[in-house]
């Protein structure tokens, strides 16, 4: 009887740890496609088509938080924001040029 109890306890440990691993990995995979990073606009340079962003971690680029210059995919993005604005954005690196491809001003 004791060995049966041990077997049941062991089995439930295996099941619960397997469930925990699945629960941790699933949301990351699902959200990876359209996850936006947070940032603050530090400079807008319309003539160069660039903006400087103090950004949080950029998971898709494997980059930690820092302040840096980005190109923008659409020059109109530079009209939507001003220095000091808090934003959410997606940056990609299509031709070795870090480019903001999506931009949303925080409310």
Binding site for Cu ion (CB under 5 A): 63, 66, 68
- Among all chains, which residue has been given the structure tokens 């049966």? 4
Q: Shortest Cβ distance from residue 35 to Cu ion (Å)?
A: 16
Residue whose CB is less far from Cu ion, 49 or 56: 56
Contact 105, 52 (CB under 8 A): no
In three state form, how does the secondary structure of 19-46 look?
A: HHHHHHHHHHHHHHHHCCEEEEEEEEEC
Q: Shortest Cβ distance from residue 55 to Cu ion (Å)?
A: 6
Q: Shortest Cβ distance from residue 72 to Cu ion (Å)?
A: 15
Residue whose CB is less far from Cu ion, 9 or 35: 35
Residue whose CB is less far from Cu ion, 10 or 94: 94
């Amino acid at each position: 009887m004791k060995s049966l109890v041990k077997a049941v306890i062991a089995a439930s440990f295996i099941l619960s740890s397997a469930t925990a691993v699945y629960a941790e990995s699933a949301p990351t995979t699902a959200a990876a496609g359209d996850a936006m990073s947070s940032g603050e606009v530090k400079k807008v340079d319309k003539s160069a088509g660039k903006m400087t962003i103090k950004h949080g971690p950029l998971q898709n680029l494997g980059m930690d938080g820092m302040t840096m210059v980005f190109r923008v995919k659409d020059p109109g993005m530079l009209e939507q924001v001003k220095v000091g604005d808090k934003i959410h954005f997606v940056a990609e690196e299509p031709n070795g040029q870090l480019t903001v491809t999506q931009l949303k001003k925080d409310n």
